[in-house]
Amino acid sequence: MRSRSGLLLNLEETALVLGIGRSTIYRAVRDGQVPFPVHRIGGTWYVPKRALQRFLDGEDPEGPEPGSDET
């Protein structure tokens, strides 16, 4: 399954990146246990690619955008 936007991953794609199962990511979202933002658009859950990459890099997933004055 492919996301409609190059900026977002659906939960199945997110699970593949994280190396976890589909049911595990859905359960974590349901329980509020994901350490990055998750957004529901229509009937589908999405994760911003940039936030997921920040999480994987050990950074704050909701940190400042590149080029901002925040440190």
What CATH number does residue 21 fall under? 3.90.105
* CA-only gyration radius of the chain, Å: 12
Q: Say how many domains are in the chain.
A: 1
Residue 71 covered by a domain:
no
Whether residue 1 has pLDDT greater than 80: no
Give a yes or no: residue 61 inside a domain.
no
Put simply, whether the predicted model's pTM sits higher than 0.75 gets the answer yes
Residue 62 in domain: no
Q: What is the extent of the structural domain holding 33?
A: 8-56
In a domain, 46, yes or no: yes
State percent of the chain over pLDDT 90: 73
Mean pLDDT for 9-32 is: 97
Query: What is the CB neighbour count within 10 angstroms for residue 42?
Result: 6
Tokens, residue 33: 């246990």
Q: What residues are paired with 38 via a beta bridge?
A: none
Cβ–Cβ < 8 Å for 13, 6: no
Q: How confident is the model at residue 3, as a pLDDT?
A: 46
If residue 18 lies in a helix (H) or strand (E), which one and from where to where? helix 11-18
Residue from 71, 30, 56 nearest 48 by CA: 56
Domain presence at residue 69:
no
- pLDDT of 69 above 60: no
